[in-house]
């Protein structure tokens, strides 16, 4: 294979891996900028993945699946919100609790409903999955070396959720920095007292942020089970929620840098997959476990070494009460 074909395929894989990561990171962005730590990302995604696959398999409509995924993730987000915002509970504990609950609940319900060892049925019917959308002349363009291949492999042929995720970044940036809602959201994560004295409901804003996080997690989970694969598998998020959180921190809680972090993490993941079983110069074939650990090793190194300057929203993790 020619080098640039290899690179283009690597980039295509990056996009596939980056999509759920980006959706989850944007979800976390809304929640955390409002001051609520989003350790429930993993659980909300996993719950949505299960609900989307189950509904899509039962009804035959991936759109109903998406709806179910969003509803499930929002419901889980509201559980976290109720515990952390209304009752000022510990945000880390609430998020972890929801994640742990879903890890067990998904396969259990799956077993009860479908009797397939905790998985959902294979989504192979028409309209049961989000599939790639071919752009005009994609096949023709493939013949043109580099630009054509990029058009055919990267721009064209992705599914709707990928385009949605890509559009989400500029849209989020616009929301955060150009709208009233964004101003208030950023304020409530920095100094909720200022927001309260300005006559705006702190809890109301945080609930809105948490619900948005739920909706976006719904998209992320749906992508995993109905676009990236065809059905729900136990633990299919495989730590992506936490990786998204790491990307969010590496991206300093800002939309565009977070996109960069997601792409970087996704690229190492794609590279790792590509490197499996390949004999490298000097070291020979690297054990597959080592290669699979690569993205996470990179995460630890990046978070330890390169984000020293990252300043978290000041009020993050602190339940709001009027008394100082």
In terms of CB distance, is 205 or 217 closer to other proteins?
A: 205
Applying CB under 8 A, which part among 46-54, 198-206, 214-222, 244-252 lies near other proteins? 198-206
Q: Is 308 in the site for other proteins (CB under 8 A)?
A: no
User: Please, what is the minimum distance in Å from the beta carbon of residue 151 to other proteins?
Assistant: 35
Please list, in sequence order, all residues whose beta carbon lies within 8 angstroms of the beta carbon of residue 199, skipping any fewer than 6 positions away: none
Determine contact, residues 39/97, Cβ cutoff 8 Å: no
234 class by beta-carbon count within 10 Å (0-12 exposed, 13-18 middle, 19+ buried): middle
Please list, in sequence order, all residues whose beta carbon lies within 8 angstroms of the beta carbon of residue 218, skipping any fewer than 6 positions away: 44, 48, 52, 66, 69, 70, 71, 72, 73, 74
In terms of CB distance, is 36 or 98 closer to other proteins?
A: 36
77 conformational bin, left if phi > 0, alpha if psi -120 to 50, beta if neither: alpha
Residue 321's φ and ψ, nearest 5 degrees, are: -135, 150
Applying CB under 8 A, which part among 127-135, 171-179, 245-253, 279-287 lies near other proteins? 171-179
* Binding residue (CB under 8 A) for other proteins from 197, 204, 238, 300: 197
Q: Euclidean distance between the first and final Cα of the chain, in Å?
A: 64
* Binding residue (CB under 8 A) for other proteins from 75, 160, 200, 318: 200
Determine contact, residues 52/65, Cβ cutoff 8 Å: yes
Determine contact, residues 196/23, Cβ cutoff 8 Å: no
Applying CB under 8 A, which part among 91-99, 189-197, 218-226, 251-259 lies near other proteins? 189-197
User: Please, what is the minimum distance in Å from the beta carbon of residue 90 to other proteins?
Assistant: 19
Distance, in Å, from the CA atom of 165 to the CA atom of 16, rounded to the nearest integer, reads 11
User: Please, what is the minimum distance in Å from the beta carbon of residue 211 to other proteins?
Assistant: 18
Q: Is 179 in the site for other proteins (CB under 8 A)?
A: yes
Q: Is 324 in the site for other proteins (CB under 8 A)?
A: yes
In terms of CB distance, is 66 or 185 closer to other proteins?
A: 185
Q: Is 309 in the site for other proteins (CB under 8 A)?
A: no
Q: Is 190 in the site for other proteins (CB under 8 A)?
A: yes
In terms of CB distance, is 127 or 257 closer to other proteins?
A: 257
Which positions lie near other proteins, rule CB under 8 A?
Answer: 177-184, 186-187, 190-191, 193-200, 311, 314, 322, 324
């Amino acid at each position: 294979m020619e080098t640039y074909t290899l690179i283009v395929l690597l980039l295509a894989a990056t996009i596939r891996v980056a999509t759920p990561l980006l959706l989850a990171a944007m979800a976390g962005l809304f929640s955390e900028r409002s001051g609520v730590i989003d350790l429930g990302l993993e659980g909300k995604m996993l719950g949505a993945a299960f609900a989307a696959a189950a509904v899509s398999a039962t009804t035959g409509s991936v759109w109903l699946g998406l709806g179910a995924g969003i509803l499930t993730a929002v419901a889980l987000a509201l559980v976290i919100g109720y515990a952390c915002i209304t009752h000022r509970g510990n945000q880390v504990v609430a998020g972890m609790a929801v994640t742990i609950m879903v890890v067990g609940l998904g396969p259990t319900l799956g077993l009860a409903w479908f009797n397939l060892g905790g998985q959902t049925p294979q989504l192979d019917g028409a309209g049961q999955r989000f599939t790639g959308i071919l752009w005009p002349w994609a096949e023709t363009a493939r013949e043109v070396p580099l630009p054509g291949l990029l058009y055919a492999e990267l721009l064209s042929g992705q599914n709707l959720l990928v385009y949605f995720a890509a559009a989400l970044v500029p849209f989020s940036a616009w929301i955060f920095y150009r709208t009233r809602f964004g101003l208030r959201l950023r304020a409530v994560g920095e100094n909720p007292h200022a927001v309260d004295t300005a006559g705006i409901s702190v809890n109301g804003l945080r609930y809105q942020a948490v619900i948005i996080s739920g909706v976006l997690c719904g998209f992320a989970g749906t992508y995993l089970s109905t676009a990236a694969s065809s059905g729900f598998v136990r633990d299919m998020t495989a730590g992506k929620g936490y990786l998204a959180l790491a990307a969010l921190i590496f991206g300093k809680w800002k939309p565009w840098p977070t996109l960069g972090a997601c792409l970087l993490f996704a690229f190492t993941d794609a590279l790792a997959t590509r490197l499996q079983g390949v004999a490298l110069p000097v070291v020979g074939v690297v054990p597959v476990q080592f290669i699979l650990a690569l993205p996470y090793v990179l995460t630890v190194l990046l978070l330890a070494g390169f984000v020293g300057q990252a300043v978290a929203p000041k009020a993050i993790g602190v339940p709001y009460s009027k008394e100082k």
